[in-house]
Amino acid sequence: MSSWFPAILHRWFQVLLARDAQAPAANPHKTSTLIVLACAALTSTAIKLHFALTTFGSTDVAYWSEFKDYIVQNGTVSIYQHYWHYNHPPMMSGLLWLLAPLVPYAPNGFPFLIRLPAILSDVVTGLLLYDLGSRAWGPRRGLWAALLFWASPVSIMVSGYHGNTDPVFMMLILLAARQALRGKPAWQVGALLGLACNVKLVPVVTVPLFFFWLPTRREKAWFATGMLALSLLGYGYHLTHCFAAMRKNVFDYPSDARSWGLPGFHFLLGLRSQGWAMAALMRKPFLILLAIIGVGFGRRANQLPPERRPATLLLGLGWIFLVFLILTPGFGVQYLSWLNVVFPFLGLAGMLGYNLVAGTYLYNVYDFWNRGGHWNFADSDKVGLLAGYCLVWAYIVWLFLVLWATWNLGTWWGRRIRHPQFPTPPHISSQA
């Protein structure tokens, strides 16, 4: 690894950890914390780079390479009509166009280049988890959140081996949360979410949470302005030239759910047509439910003392993606990386358990697609649909999420019963 990368990484650590430059004695363990974080980040990144430099990855890498070749020859508009499964925003087409001339010079060629953004994003994500966790729950939890994330087998396999852009937009969501908690202008928060939606459309489910978390109408207006500006900048031209194809590919993309969740149970029972129908039926109520969760956490935060608002925003992010994975009408194994980023906000024990079951599941998936041999190309198209232990572990992961959500809801309800919160009576003046 070249010398510039550790130098830049060290600078990032210094910026994030130097919270109180006027009183360095307030954090006597800052140096040791820096060393631990740096070692964890470099170790995790080295493992992912090893995968990216020595393997081809999953079928997604082959798809991305095919998309790149088409874009170089035919541009970024007609691809939505040519490939029904090209469900990526136009900005990702621009990324492929930029990567194309670099392929002959990159070690391991395109398979390395397409995974590099996710690998570098994970470095920043760990730093953001430390920062956000420290703000909401204290430095100890922030440190463990970052360490568990960098040690996560889900993160290592999805970012280092699978090959997709999901870790990039999750990093941008956390960056938006950091800017919001630091009191930065609301348009910056909106612009970061708009940028995330230009990586993949999924971050739109977090918009209600951030919108209602902002306390004033003025801030909400600036947030919407930043969000719409970046969204129009990324999507506007293509929507005016291939609206029908983009709507079908990007906004109504019918991803597979035969090995996950409620629609998957129908397929396991042999009710294939009912499974597809259920997935289509669930889509709109599912999105409405996610919006309700976001609005609820956002509005609740504005009723709490300032010191409790950060935790409420982060909990909202955690619950949105937890419910997303439980009730999603579509699924891809890379989706597991979404929840892995925000699980520290739902509890460190839960994140550890999630990585144990989800990491085992992913290992079985990639081993199945590599036919039990040396990991190089997880060719899901050639090997076929998941079967056997892979399906068993898929439902173990899903059931773990259901049980974790149920346990947390039960704990929250139990606290409300034991310690009911009555409205504060109005102040009665003692003067006559």
Residue pLDDT tens, the chain, 432 long: 445 555 555 565 555 545 443 334 445 567 888 899 999 999 999 999 999 999 999 999 999 999 999 999 999 999 999 999 999 999 999 999 999 999 999 999 999 999 999 999 999 999 999 999 999 999 999 999 999 999 999 999 999 999 999 999 999 999 999 999 999 999 999 999 999 999 999 999 999 999 999 999 999 999 999 999 999 999 999 999 999 999 999 988 767 677 888 777 766 666 555 555 555 666 788 889 999 999 999 999 999 999 999 999 999 999 999 999 999 888 899 999 999 999 999 999 999 999 999 999 999 999 999 999 999 999 999 998 888 888 889 999 999 999 999 999 998 888 777 766 544 444 433 343
Please say whether the beta carbons of 329 and 221 come within 8 A: no
**Rounded (5°) CA angle 244-259-294:** 60
Q: Which of 75, 95, 100, 99 is nearest to 242 (CA)?
A: 75
Distance from C-alpha of 313 to C-alpha of 22, rounded to nearest angstrom: 29
User: Which two three-digit tokens encode residue 92?
Assistant: 């990702």
Distance from C-alpha of 304 to C-alpha of 137, rounded to nearest angstrom: 15
Distance from C-alpha of 44 to C-alpha of 347, rounded to nearest angstrom: 22
57 SS3 class: strand
Using CB atoms within 10 A of its CB, is residue 374 exposed (0-12), middle (13-18) or buried (19+)? exposed
Taking only the tens place, the pLDDT of each residue in 409-424 is 998 888 777 766 544 4
- pLDDT for 431 equals 40
Burial call 334-372: b when 16+ CB within 10 Å, e when fewer: bbbbbbbbbbbbbbbebbeebbebbbebbebbbebbbee
Cβ atoms within 10 A of the Cβ of 109, count?
14
Q: What separation, in Å, do the N-terminal and C-terminal C-alpha atoms of the chain show?
A: 78
298 SS3 class: helix
Please say whether the beta carbons of 44 and 156 come within 8 A: yes
Distance from C-alpha of 345 to C-alpha of 17, rounded to nearest angstrom: 20
Give the single-character DSSP code of 26: G
Give the single-character DSSP code of 360: H
Which secondary-structure segment (H or E) carries 11?
A: helix 4-17
SS (H, E, C) 113-176: HHHHHHHHHHHHHHHHHHHHHHHHHCHHHHHHHHHHHHCCHHHHHHHHHHCCCHHHHHHHHHHH
Which secondary-structure segment (H or E) carries 265?
A: helix 261-268
